[in-house]
Amino acid sequence: MKIRGFFEKESTLSVLGSVCAVISGLLISFIILLFSDSSNALAGFGSILLGGFNGGLKGIGNVIFQAIPIIMTGLAVALAFRTGVFNIGTAGQFIMGAFTAVFIGVKWTFLPAGIHWIAALLGGFIAGAVWAFVPAVLHAHFQVNAVVSAIMMNYVGMYTANYLITNTVYNAAKNQSKAVAATAVAPKAGMNVLFPGSSLNAGIIVVILVVIILQVLISKTVFGYEIKACGMNRQASLYAGISAKKRLVQSFMFSGGLAGLGGALAYLAGDGKCISVVDVLAGDGFTGIAVALLGLNSPVGALLAGLLISYLEVGGFYTQVYKYPVEIIDITIAVIVYFGAFAVLVKGMIRKLLQRKGGKE
Amino acid sequence: MNTLYFLIQQTMLFSVPLLIVALGGMFSERSGVWNVALEGTMIIGGFSGILFISLMQDKMHGQLLLLFGVLIAALAGVVFMLLHAFASINLQADQTVSGTALNMFAPAFAIFTARMIRGVKQIPFDNTFRMEKVPLLGDIPVIGNMFFQNAYLTTYIGLGILILSSIVLFRTRYGLRLRSCGEHPKAADSVGINVYAMRYSGVLISGALGGIGGIVFVVPTSTEFNATVSGYGFLAIAVMIFGQWIPKKILFASLFFGVMKTLSSAYGAIPFLAAWQIPTYFYKIVPYIVTLIVLAFTSKSSKEPRASGQPYKKGGK
């Protein structure tokens, strides 16, 4: 009973840490608004807080819609974190997944309607996994720092995707990828009835399925147990007979696949978005890091954190009414991540205090 | 011959910012703090320096203005890196996470501030800094053509930083202490070296050099600052590792990357490369691929400072 109480406190503490990070981020963004134009600061801040609700059901639908890719990259980062590696390569995996999905969406029109979309999603997943294979193997077998190799793969991915787009599915007039065939677009699955006017589609069902699968995988299977063991103590897990290298490569590839799936979902959404051929890394990849941190590296947490960040981003759109640049939201998210970096430490300090008190009693 | 001179001048413009920033990263890592935020530091440095130049160019011009811009950029980089130092040294935070947060913060902050001041995210400036010919030195045959014509003051600043870094790191008491904190902080602590102070100095030097690298990158290649340094900060990390945390080797690594960058932007001007018709993306990708291959072969015997990335806690276990 006592042990259970302790664990409950532990999880409460973790959530508290995230909440603190979010509140600090919001406070600092308010201060920045005050400094830049104090007359509208309150109104601007209000629109950040209430932004997601501005458009009623349509607005909420769009919050969920925009959350889809960042929840996926968040899940990717979270899974890799559990294995003890930092997957900063989600931007590259994301864009390779996006390209592959768009390629299948444009070219493989021989596939029937129901299957075409799913095939494109699978293609995106596989491309992301392949892209993660390089840093995974380099890390497991050649002891290459995974952060560095993943950053390199981000740039290789960005240039490769641009090269492949311009040579296969290029819309030269708009310098972007061609629109995918109607059969490859995500079905609405009744979401247009639930949230009329929004762009929400069956993508969110895929996301929820992935969250459930990951939750089960991490907490109920041998695979999940072994990757967590590797993440907590590589030496101990080796001693216990777990083939750590294999697990590391598998989970890193799975993580990359999730990021690739995110890219596929983002560009098969039927809202007219195409991949622009520019030399800029995919921002959704980096937002995934914020999502994972805020979500405490748990699948359900990433789902909630992704929704929260998307909610803030939609709110940021409305701050433009008060002449504030929309970048205020990126600043807020960055500050949240920064505070999130030492939320773990704050949590540890509180826990120690509690333990000390418990010891005395 | 003119093509060759042009290519060498171009290579210098690409290599020097990489050299400066990679040296910055080296100081941070040598002190034991892993600095993934070089990209963000470059953006903050470039932003502050260019903003200063843009505001002051009516009152000053030429090399003096550039010099002041460089100083402002260094200062901004130091202030920015205080955040990273505080998180990773005092609070023992995850250094990659803190660095990533700062990388996200920098462009957002630069665009936000530029828009608040000017309404658009670009900050234009007049490039009055190019030197047709350095007096005396520019007249030397061949060498003068290569290094002292169409040059920027920043190139020589970069070389100065290289020489200074090499001396400081390997020939001074400070350098020895700094390196000891990156290799074995506990041992350093036991002989009375203030590990926190040394690590602060390492991170702040990387902030100054990162900031300088930002403005050095922007000035010769553009006439406006667009809140981006095109991934040069990340490339500098590759240069640093490629150069095995040693100034001399970092110079060669940055020259290699500079040559590749020059080829990707100017291969059309080189007859035999233009004839091959290799897509421009090839030249863009090669530096990254080569880095990956080199990492694969060298990581097992890497000279990376042993304690880099590990928080140090005074009196801890």
Mean pLDDT over B168-180 rounds to: 95
Stated pTM of the model: 0.89
Do you know the residue count of chain A?
A: 361
Residue A360 has pLDDT above 50, yes or no: no
> Taking a contact as any Cβ pair under 8 Å apart, which residues of chain B between 101 and 130 contact chain A?
101-105, 107-109, 111-112, 115-116, 121
CB contact under 8 A, A341 and B292: no
Domain boundaries, chain A: 1-37+326-361, 59-323
| Amino acid symbol at A262 | G
CB contact under 8 A, B285 and A334: no
In chain A, % of residues over pLDDT 90? 47
Chains A, B: CB pairs < 8 Å: 134
- B12-21, B113-122, B201-210: lowest mean pLDDT where? B113-122
Domain boundaries, chain B: 2-236
The DSSP bridge pattern shows strands A170-171 and B131-133 to be: unpaired
- Which of B96, B230, B295 comes nearest A149 by C-beta? B295
Predicted confidence (pLDDT) per residue in A20-75, tens digit: 889 989 999 999 999 888 888 888 898 888 877 777 888 889 899 999 999 999 99
Q: Which of B95, B232, B292 to mutate to test the interface with A (most CBs of A within 10 A)?
A: B292
- A76-85, A243-252, B58-67, B74-83: lowest mean pLDDT where? B58-67
Predicted confidence (pLDDT) per residue in A261-304, tens digit: 999 999 998 888 899 998 888 889 889 988 998 888 899 999 99
DSSP letters, A289-358, are HHHHHHTTT-HHHHHHHHHHHHHHHHHHHHHGGGT--TTHHHHHHHHHHHHHHHHHHHHHHHHHHHHHHH
| pLDDT of res. A6 | 54
Contacts of A156 in chain B (CB under 8 A): 285, 288-289, 292
Strands (E), chain B: 123-124, 131-133, 149-151, 224-225
Predicted confidence (pLDDT) per residue in B119-153, tens digit: 888 999 988 888 877 777 777 877 777 778 778 89
In chain B, % of residues over pLDDT 70? 99
Residue B124 per-residue DSSP state: E
Nearest CA in chain B to A86: B96
- A188-192, A352-356, B72-76, B291-295: lowest mean pLDDT where? A352-356
- Which of B92, B112, B292 comes nearest A325 by C-beta? B112
Say which CATH class A59-323 falls into. mainly alpha
- Those residues with Cβ within 8 angstroms of residue B223's Cβ, 6 or more apart along the chain or in another chain: B124, B125, B126, B127
CB contact under 8 A, B285 and A148: no
Nearest CA in chain B to A329: B108
Residue A38 per-residue DSSP state: G
CB contact under 8 A, A344 and B93: yes
Contact A72, A261 (CB under 8 A): yes
Mean pLDDT over A175-192 rounds to: 86
Q: Quick one: tokens of B44? A: 């903050």
